[in-house]
Amino acid sequence: MSHPELPPSAQLMNLLWGRAIACSLSGLAKLGIPDHMSLADPAPVDSLAAATGAHAPSLYRVLRMLASLGVFTEHPGQRFTLTPIGACLRADAPDSHRGVAMMLTDTWQMRGYEHIEHSLRTGDNGISAYAGNANTFEVISQNPAHLANFQVAMTNYSAMEGANLDPLLDFDSRFQKIADVAGGHGALLAQILRKNPSLQGVLFDLPEVIAQAPSPADAGLAGRLHHESGSMFERVPAACDAYIMKHIIHDWDDARSHQILRLICDQLAAHAPTHGRLFLAEMIVPHTPEPHPAKFLDVEMLAVTPGGKERTESEFAVLFENAGLQLVQVHTTPGPICLIEARVAQ
């Protein structure tokens, strides 16, 4: 939203409107407005309102504002079409961000940012300012709607990032059994197993998450995909020669990340000390000053997670070393996500 031709105060004001933008996008996603729109045929506001139960004059004002930012295109007669950006808000888009838009304004998210001053003063996440000792994921799990939005958002991320990661997931000739730790509903693991037909897989997450995951038969992976539930701070699936976690370590501080990594290291050391691998699908914070998604996601971690953060490559290397692992390679992708490969330290 930066416009160098504007005076600095106006540029700052444009940044401060971020809340209005995020909340408006979220509201439209929750109402399903973009699902009734297309890239080609202008939709009248009155028709969109009638189809979704929205208030037409208010809907027009929100669409007009977002059209000025390139999310929609406004046509004469209060009619709108999607732009490629707006199309990502459709539930059926291949790179849908509808779940992400809905999640980012759920109460637990908003309260985290509401208390960002608390985070700046103390280093604690904003949620702790109102939820006490309950961590973010306990807060989410207490509200079925929030948990559902969170899982849909994670599935959105998997679909978006899965295409970028896919060329790096040729595992058939290297491993026999891979565990996706804190793998949610299993979108990434299903992608890996379909790509590697000889590989066995274990989806591991909390009981309430596994209960909502598609069954191995429904995923078309009966006999190859197995479900296990438990806490990754207490155990991880045994006897695997590969482990993968996507956007998990960034949720936790170094001490709790160490707990998870140490458990994985112990399993690899016992069952696959030489060829076994751990893969972390994470963003890496660059050392350059330019904008980067990892820098924005890092502040998200500050506001809403129990000590989570995005890390530099050197910070990952230290984290691995302290857990008995060693960094092997950082595999980059066309997007901001990387596949970070580690092994048992030799």
pLDDT along the chain (346 residues), means of 10: 79 94 96 98 98 98 98 98 98 92 91 91 85 79 87 83 94 97 94 97 95 95 98 98 97 97 98 97 96 96 92 98 98 96 97
How far apart CA 297 and CA 282 sit, in angstroms, is 11
Question: What Å distances lie between residue 22 and 25, 98, 127, 341, CA to CA?
Answer: 5, 12, 19, 34
pTM for the predicted model, two decimal places = 0.89
Alpha helices (H) along the chain? 8-16, 18-31, 45-52, 56-67, 84-87, 98-103, 107-114, 116-122, 128-131, 136-141, 144-165, 187-195, 207-210, 254-271, 293-304, 313-322
The CATH topology of domain 152-288+302-344 is Rossmann fold (3.40.50)
Closest CA to 188 of 280, 105, 101: 280
The pLDDT score that the predictor gives to residue 169 is: 97
Residue 250 annotated as catalytic: yes
List the beta bridge partners of residue 212. Answer: none
The pLDDT score that the predictor gives to residue 1 is: 55
Domain spanning 8-100: which CATH class is it, in words?
A: mainly alpha
- The structure tokens listed for 308 are 């989570």
Residue whose structure tokens are 């914070």: 285
The pLDDT score that the predictor gives to residue 99 is: 92
- From the list 250, 258, 271, 331, the catalytic residue is 250
The pLDDT score that the predictor gives to residue 50 is: 98
List strands edge to edge, sheet with 337-344. Answer: 225-229, 200-205, 177-181, 242-246, 277-283, 337-344, 325-331
Domain boundaries for CATH 1.10.10.10 within the chain: 8-100
Domain boundaries for CATH 3.40.50.150 within the chain: 152-288+302-344
Question: What Å distances lie between residue 110 and 25, 81, 264, CA to CA?
Answer: 14, 29, 34
Residue whose structure tokens are 């191995």: 216
